[in-house]
Structure 1
Amino acid sequence: MRSLFSLALLASVFALVLASVAQATVFEPITCIMLFILTFLSKSDENSLLLTLIFAVVFALDAVLVFGLKYGVFPVVESYFIENIYAYGAQLAVSLLLLFLLRHRMTVAVILTRGKSASVFEKNYAEGPLYLLVIMLVFIDFMALMENFLRNLDRMGVDEEVAKAFWEVTFFFDYFAYLKAVPIILCITLLYVGLIVRTKRQPIQN
C-alpha cells in the first residue's frame, strides 16, 4: 500500500511539472502516447486492455478536439468568452463521455468481444478509483465552464456594476491545466497498477 501511495505521489508531481512546462497541444498528445503504450502492454489481459482502450480512445478524441479548436475555431472567434465556452464545453463533453463509457464498461467490453471473453467480467481493482478520478475531471470542466459564465455576466445582460464584482474570479481559468493534469496522470498510473495486479494474480489463479 505504501509503494502504491508513493507511486501516486510521484505521478502527481510528474503531472504538475508536465502541466507547468507543456501547453495543452503538447500535454494531450503525451498522455495519448502514454495510454497507447499502456494499451500495447495490456494486450495479454483483455480486462485491462479494454479498460485502458476506453481511456486511450477518449483522450485521443480529446487531443483531436484541442487541435481542432486551436487551429480551426479560435482563429475565427474574436471573443475569449466564446473561445472558453467552446474549450471548456468540449472538455466537459469528453469527460462526460469517459464517465459514461467507464460506467458501462462491462457492456462496452461485451459488445467488443461479442461475449467470447470471460476475463472481461472479472473485477479490475483500478476501476473504483478511476471512476472517482473521472468524476473529478467532470467537476473541474463543469466548474471552469460555469466560472467563465460568471466572469462574463455583463455579456449576458447583467448590469456591469453587478458583473464587475466577478471579473476577477479566475481560479479554474488560472489553474485549469494543473487541476486537469493530476487526475489524468493518476488515471494512467492506476491503469498501470491495475494491469500489474492482474498479471501477478493470473499465475496464482492458474
Structure 2
Amino acid sequence: MNRTWGFALIMLTLWGLISYFHIYFERFVDIPLLLLVLSFSYIAKEQENIIHITIGLLIFIAIEFVGYELIAELWFAEHPAYVKNTLTLSFQLLMDLGVFFYLKNRVRLSTYYVNRFAPEKQEYIYMTHADILLVGLFFLFMLVDLATLAENIIRNLEYFGVDESFAKQFWSWNWFYKAYPYIKSILLSCVITVLLATVYVERFRPAPIKESEEDSTLKKSEPQHRS
C-alpha cells in the first residue's frame, strides 16, 4: 500500500470516528474538535490559513449556538413545534450561508487582516485544499437545510392556510427531519477531517521564498528603462 492510499485510509477512519462522536454527543461537539484543530494549527508551523478558517467556523458556530438557545429555549419556547422548527432551520440555513460566503472570500479577508495586523505573514496567505473542499461541503449543508425546511413547511401546511383535508396527506413527511441530525453530523465530521488532513498536507508545502532586504534594496536602485 503506497503512502497516498495509507493516508486516505487513515482519514477515512478518522472521519468515521468523528462521525460517531458527533452522533453520540449530539449538538456542538464540533466546538471542542475545532479547538483541537486550532491547537494543532498553532503547534504546526505556518498554518495561518487553517487558523483563519477554524476561527471563522468557531465564530459562526458560537453565533448558531446562541441563536438556537434564544429561539428554541427563550423567545419561542411556548410556541408550537412547527414554529420553532421553522425558525431554527431558517437560522441554521442563514448561518451555513454565512459560512459559505466567508469561505468563498476567506483568502481576501485573511489578506486584508494580515496586511493590517501582521504584514510579515503576507506570503503565508493563499487558497488551501480546505478552502475549496469546505465551500462544497457547506453548499451541501445549505441543500440539507433547505430540504428539511421545505419538508417542515409541507408537513404543516394546515398552519399556513392550506385546507386540512389536503394538507393531511403530507403529515407523514419526515424523512429529512429524522435524518437531519445524522446528515449534519456526517457533514460536520467531514469538515473536521478536511481541516486535519489539510494541516498534515500543508506541512509538505515548500516554504515561501522571502525577499531579503538586500535584494529589495537592489531592485529599488536598479535603473528603470523605458521602451
Give 1 or 2 for the bigger CA radius of gyration: 2
5 Å-filtered alignment, 1:194-205, equals 194-202=198-206
Q: Is 2:43 the partner of 1:47? A: no
Which runs of no fewer than 5 residues in structure 2 stay unpaired? 211-227
Q: Look up the match of 1:165.
A: 169
Secondary structure, aligned partner of 1:200: coil
TM-score by length of 1: 0.87
Deviation at 1:200, TM superposition (A): 2.5
Whole-angstrom distance in 2 between the partners of 1:140 and 1:15: 20
Secondary structure, aligned partner of 2:128: coil
Give the AA of the match of 1:14.
L
What is the percent sequence identity of the aligned residues?
21
The superposition leaves residues 19-60 of structure 1 with CA deviations (integer Å, 9 ceiling, x where unpaired) of 443333xxx1x2111112211221332122112222222122
**Deviating more after overlay: 158-167 vs 97-106:** 158-167
Secondary structure, aligned partner of 2:74: helix
5 Å-filtered alignment, 1:13-24, equals 13-24=16-27
Q: Residue 48 of structure 2 contacts residue 125 of structure 2 at CA under 8 Å; is this kept in 1?
A: no
Deviation at 1:15, TM superposition (A): 4.5
- Higher helix proportion: 1
Deviation at 1:201, TM superposition (A): 2.2
Deviation at 1:127, TM superposition (A): 1.9
Q: Look up the match of 1:146.
A: 150
Do the aligned partners of residues 199 and 16 (structure 1) sit closer, same or farther apart at CA in structure 2, a change above 3 Å counting? closer
Give the AA of the match of 2:34.
L
TM-score by length of 2: 0.79
Whole-angstrom distance in 2 between the partners of 1:4 and 1:69: 42
Q: Is 2:183 the partner of 1:179? A: yes
Do the aligned partners of residues 97 and 2 (structure 1) sit closer, same or farther apart at CA in structure 2, a change above 3 Å counting? same
Alignment match of 1:3 (pick from 3, 6, 10) = 6
The Cα RMSD (Å) is: 2.2
Give the AA of the match of 2:99.
L
Q: Residue 123 of structure 2 contacts residue 208 of structure 2 at CA under 8 Å; is this kept in 1?
A: no
Which runs of no fewer than 5 residues in structure 1 stay unpaired? none
Q: Look up the match of 2:192.
A: 188
The superposition leaves residues 178-200 of structure 1 with CA deviations (integer Å, 9 ceiling, x where unpaired) of 01011111111101111111123
Count of aligned residue pairs for this structure pair: 201
